[in-house]
Structure 1
Amino acid sequence: MEANANSLPLPDVMKAPIRPDILQDVHRDISKNSRQPYAVSRSVSHQTSAESWGTGRVVSRISCVLGGDTHRAGQGAYGNMCSGGRIASLVMACCHRIESVLQIPCVISDSAEAIEKTSNAISLLKKIGAYPDAEKAKDS
């Protein structure tokens, strides 16, 4: 094929047959770039069908998950003493080292996201008392 002023020879790669499997993979991967990012839901532990039976049934008033034939059915929910409750003794029972943390849950300001150096992040963790737990995670 001769090239003139208005045309160029077609590269050999353009003469190769189209592979549908590669085309599908590329299309799927490109479409992933347009997904909307999302954060962790604040109500993540409340996504159950738990309801309290109220009083008068000689059972606990803690909300219990509805349903049957599953391990989760009938378990307590939403209470501090239930599985997934937000109470410090349960967090410590899960082998977290939070003895020096002042309050559970430990909430810090959004300015912590601006920390770029590891040494600054370590000093922040030491100030709030969460560094022993980070050391435990590093050693595991």
Structure 2
Amino acid sequence: MDWHPHVTVATVVENDGKFLFVEEIKHGRRVLNQPAGHLEKDESLIEAALRETLEETQWRVEILGVVGFGLYVAPANGVTYHRTTFFARPVAFCPEQKLDADIERAVWLTPEELRERRTQLRSPLVLECLERYLGQHRYPLSINY
């Protein structure tokens, strides 16, 4: 078999009704995404979510549970991504943590502000995962094992 899906994680981080997103440059375009990225060798999904959130936002978070699982085939390259989305609470801002090179900045947005910027979303999964979280699709971490 030559087909290999990419395993990714994303984290919905809420603080006082606002959610943490990243502005990044992809294919020459500024897009919005949850803190997200690829699973690395010998890393658990939770470890990946903690690492990616810190690297992309400078926020250390506590993972509280799972929002869901999804598949997305990127139209630009045909790659299939299997995404596990977690939810978390912010624990500490770590300004000494350097942002990943392709991240412009981290931003806190209300759901309404994100919906207004839907043309800037990196993929439909960004809003879908937030809406699932807002709709109380929140599961214990034990669902992941």
Higher relative contact order (CA 8 A, sep 6+): 2
User: TM over 0.5: same fold?
Assistant: no
| Max Rg structure | 1
Give the number of the structure whose residues are more often strand, by fraction: 2
| Alignment TM-score, normalising by the size of structure 1 | 0.21
* Structure with more of its chain in helix, by fraction: 1
Provide TM-score, normalisation by structure 2. Answer: 0.20
